[in-house]
Amino acid sequence: MQQLYQEVLKAHYTSPIGLNKSIDETHVAEGYNATCGDEITIKLTINDKDLSIKDIAFESDSCAICNASASILCQQILDEDTSSLNNYYQQLKSKLEDKPSPTIDFHFPKELRSLIAVNAYPTRINCALLPWQTAIDALSSTKLNKNGGCSNV
């Protein structure tokens, strides 16, 4: 099972979803992990009517775990509502920081389960969480309006 998860992370690192993708973002945030030196920018396009995430992209100068996690984020939350982003983040954080049992939670999405292997390396947990926390920060960021100015969300 551990090998399967390593393969999922490797696939997301070598062919990341959303990396350097050009989108018409409405929300943006930058994140930094001082321990590892990871830097990431998450861009979201939020539908104002139903608060769904219509598009997502990222730019990064970060380690393989952070890039893979950002790719999984882009795959997992597209077309989800914004509350799902927070729910996934809270579940992932709990599973990484609380030393979960080796049993698998089948209600937790498969791609996210692959990140749980990171809990064996406590110094790398922040690498896996950074894209998710940055996306949440983006939700509360300043929204760009059509005139090039800014308005608060």
- Which pLDDT score is estimated for 30? 96
Contact 60, 66 (CB under 8 A): yes
**Which whole number is the average pLDDT over 86-101?**
83
CA distance 42 to 35: 19
3-state secondary structure of 36: coil
- Topology classification of domain 2-143: Sufe protein. Chain: A (3.90.1010)
Q: Domain residues of the chain, as ranges? A: 2-143
End-to-end CA distance of the chain: 42
pLDDT over 60 (residue 152):
no
Per-chain mean pLDDT for the chain = 85
pLDDT of residue 71: 96
pLDDT value of position 6 = 79
pTM: 0.85
Q: Which pLDDT tens digit goes with each residue over 3-34?
A: 545 788 888 889 999 999 999 999 999 999 99
In whole angstroms, give the CA distance from residue 133 to residue 89.
7
More confident residue, 59 or 13: 59
Q: What integer pLDDT is reported at residue 151 of this predicted model? A: 42
CA distance 74 to 81: 13
